[in-house]
Homo-oligomer: A and B are copies of this chain.
């Protein structure tokens, strides 16, 4: 169990009642204005801008120093130059704020002098009992608290205050900016998102532990380059993964990638073998790319768990069926052997020629004329006890076939992932229809198979315990 003090401190960080923005500005094009406007746009209630001279910023009363703010400040967001940071952190400590997000970069990741300044900051906050995220962070997205500091999200404006079950920690700020924007645009919602930064105080392990105990968090995702306390992280992950899937993309697995990680966050990335063994034993699902995370998060968010590794493939494209079967088998899935009664029924509903009444099932070119065959075939195959999950490959040039898939999904209780051919101008509305119905969709059947395979991997891990 997390100690009670740390838990209540993290609660204050993720659900602050009042936020001071130190370095707020009304100058067009400045970060200070972007952040202030972002808080206003999200509907956060108690925003207190801090500015050395201005008395008012964007209609809000401003103070020259955090210490002069009357009443409690839960969270201080610091947008100040590196050389002024120590002084401002000391002010925050004096004010007894509960948490600090130090956006400022230019500390440990920039060499010896930066490391010393970072240590000085840590000494100040430890003494005052204040917790700190950063430095060199993009901060938070906590929709239940209407809290958003991710610069990408602030600029684009697509993020909402709607709450979901995914929580994310990342040793990369922009990772969070784009993971949230991509997935929110696909109707996925988040619970808590945090950019770890240099982890001078709060680290990935703290966030993992907090998310593990957090009742609102159902799925945990992360981007890591290195871990400060590997053993503790491993033990927590092993415990948490029993109840919540943990998806982690580890950057710097190759020697060259490790050098890039060093330039990025100053972390020793460690050897591939060690990481892979640790992930496997802790039940962590290792991700191979940004896109694999988005695909897999859609699967865990919306699909029932597969009961085994036997997949059925349904499309109107014989060639793509064959190639997709190859890709499924290569990654360890099995092509389900259909039972005799299902095979017989399939042969009855599919056209006698130009189709394949087997698995993979090819509804044939007839789908252009009788598109409901797609949905009927899906329902039939899903009713076979030998089928654990389904991949349906279709094209947006036939909206009726996509609509029949949407109908079929309502009638089955097995995971189905859709891959749509990426015909620009046609795909946008068909992908929207699927996502509006919480059906995961991608534009590459290999990616669909990979995401389903991660669910299988997680289930098999749980069964091995």
Q: Is A212 an interface residue (CB 8 A)?
A: no
Contacts A182-B422, A327-B289, A444-B289; is A261 near B397 (CB within 8 Å)? no
B322 and A225 contact, CB distance less than 8 A: yes
Q: Is A8 an interface residue (CB 8 A)?
A: no
B330 and A254 contact, CB distance less than 8 A: yes
B-contact bits for A435-463, CB 8 A (1 contact / 0 none): 10000000111110000000000000000
Complex CA gap A326/B271 in Å reads: 12
B431 and A323 contact, CB distance less than 8 A: no
A398 and B155 contact, CB distance less than 8 A: yes
Closest to A185 in B: B424
Contacts A173-B365, A263-B358; is A106 near B353 (CB within 8 Å)? yes
B252 and A326 contact, CB distance less than 8 A: yes
Complex CA gap A294/B447 in Å reads: 15
CB distance from A328 to the nearest CB of B (A): 8
**Interface hits, A174-190 → B, CB 8 Å:** 174-175, 177-178, 181-182, 185-186
**Interface hits, A393-418 → B, CB 8 Å:** 395, 397-398
Contacts A317-B178, A330-B254; is A323 near B290 (CB within 8 Å)? yes
B-contact bits for A359-393, CB 8 A (1 contact / 0 none): 01010010011000000000000000000000000
Complex CA gap A320/B254 in Å reads: 14
A264 and B397 contact, CB distance less than 8 A: no
Closest to A171 in B: B319
Complex CA gap A104/B354 in Å reads: 8
Q: Is A426 an interface residue (CB 8 A)?
A: yes
Name the B residues within 8 Å of A251 (CB-CB).
Answer: 319, 322-323, 326
Complex CA gap A353/B109 in Å reads: 9
B265 and A318 contact, CB distance less than 8 A: yes
B-contact bits for A20-56, CB 8 A (1 contact / 0 none): 0000000001010010000000000000000000000
Name the B residues within 8 Å of A444 (CB-CB).
Answer: 289-291, 444, 447
B290 and A423 contact, CB distance less than 8 A: no
CB distance from A268 to the nearest CB of B (A): 13
Complex CA gap A136/B365 in Å reads: 11
- Name the contact of A431 in the complex, choosing from B156, B264, B325, B424 (C-beta under 8 A): B424
A425 and B325 contact, CB distance less than 8 A: no
CB distance from A424 to the nearest CB of B (A): 4
Closest to A398 in B: B155
Name the B residues within 8 Å of A152 (CB-CB).
Answer: 368, 395, 397
Name the B residues within 8 Å of A264 (CB-CB).
Answer: 318-319, 321-322, 356, 362
**Interface hits, A258-316 → B, CB 8 Å:** 260-261, 263-265, 288-291, 294, 316
Name the B residues within 8 Å of A321 (CB-CB).
Answer: 260, 264
Name the B residues within 8 Å of A352 (CB-CB).
Answer: 106
CB distance from A115 to the nearest CB of B (A): 14
Q: Is A345 an interface residue (CB 8 A)?
A: no
Q: Is A421 an interface residue (CB 8 A)?
A: yes
Name the B residues within 8 Å of A353 (CB-CB).
Answer: 82, 104-106, 110, 136
Complex CA gap A257/B360 in Å reads: 9
Q: Is A249 an interface residue (CB 8 A)?
A: yes
Complex CA gap A362/B223 in Å reads: 17
Q: Is A158 an interface residue (CB 8 A)?
A: yes
Closest to A224 in B: B319
Closest CB pairs A-B (n = 8):
A172-B319, A156-B397, A251-B322, A257-B326, A174-B317, A106-B353, A185-B424, A105-B353
Apart from A156-B397, A288-B327, A290-B323, 16 more pairs, CB < 8 Å: A31-B369, A34-B368, A106-B353, A172-B320, A173-B365, A178-B395, A178-B423, A185-B423, A256-B328, A256-B329, A260-B325, A263-B356, A290-B444, A291-B443, A424-B435, A428-B428
Listed A/B pairs (30) with beta-carbon separation below 8 Å:
A34-B368, A82-B353, A104-B353, A136-B353, A151-B365, A155-B397, A155-B398, A156-B395, A158-B397, A158-B425, A172-B322, A175-B317, A181-B397, A181-B423, A186-B424, A223-B323, A251-B319, A251-B322, A253-B330, A254-B325, A255-B329, A256-B335, A257-B323, A264-B319, A288-B446, A290-B323, A290-B421, A291-B446, A424-B428, A444-B444
